[in-house]
Amino acid sequence: PAGTAPDWEAPPEFVPGRYGDLREERPASLLWALPCTPYAGADTRAWELTAAALEHSLLTTLRDRGVAYACAVWPELYSDAGLIVVSVATAPGQIGNCVQVVEQRLESFIADGPPPDTLILAGQALAARRVLAADDLESAARNAAPVRLRLHAAQPAFGCAATLASNATLRLVTAA
């Protein structure tokens, strides 16, 4: 054996740290993982709204200060743990400034919560994302595959649709 087995009943540990070589002369993708509650169907929309509000707040601050060119925030909810993931892309020479701005904004967001107008905008953004997500080719293929399975299981076209739907699901999960 390669050592003792991990204690599967123990809660997960989140260890802050820096992985990789950050150099100010190169662009960088920065990542924060903030612990949240595990998956619970009733809480999923609330975490999505929280992430959307934080994303809006961060985007506004980062844009106003000119320290990043991209930002995304999303919940990763699992049965035993959850994370709010913050991903920020910054230009060369801005890493230190970007880290400082993001961490200040995170502390403020955690301490004060989002303003009501930010929650309204976040809710509207989530609604728009759902409409757009339902209207893309991958979603159409994913949603059509089960119907084709029941109605046309013997036809070769189903195999293509099922493969496309499966690949679409994988791409959506890894892109999130």
Provide the token pair at 46: 């609330």
Of the candidates 106, 113, 66, the residue with the CA atom closest to the CA atom of residue 86: 106
3-state helix, strand, coil in the chain (%, to 5): 55, 15, 30
* Per-residue pLDDT tens digits for 63-105: 999 999 999 999 988 888 888 999 999 988 898 899 999 999 9
What pLDDT was estimated at residue 62? 94
What pLDDT was estimated at residue 124? 92
Question: What pTM did the predictor assign?
Answer: 0.65
Q: Write out the DSSP string of 65-94.
A: HT--SEEEEEEEE-SS-EEEEEEEEE-TT-
Task: Please tell me the distance from the alpha carbon of residue 147 to that of residue 5, in angstroms, as a whole number.
Answer: 43
Binned at pLDDT 50, 70 and 90, residue 168 comes out as very low
The length of the chain is: 176
What pLDDT was estimated at residue 86? 93
Of residues 37 and 104, more confidence is placed in: 104
Provide the token pair at 152: 């046309």
What pLDDT was estimated at residue 6? 64
* Per-residue pLDDT tens digits for 105-160: 999 988 888 888 998 999 999 888 888 877 777 766 666 655 444 444 444 443 33
Of the candidates 39, 40, 41, 50, the residue with the CA atom closest to the CA atom of residue 123: 50
Asked whether residue 26 carries a pLDDT value surpassing 90, the answer given is no
Provide the token pair at 115: 């303003």
Say if CB 65 and CB 34 are below 8 A apart. Answer: no
Task: Please tell me the distance from the alpha carbon of residue 17 to that of residue 113, in angstroms, as a whole number.
Answer: 25
What pLDDT was estimated at residue 102? 94
pLDDT, mean of residues 27-37: 86
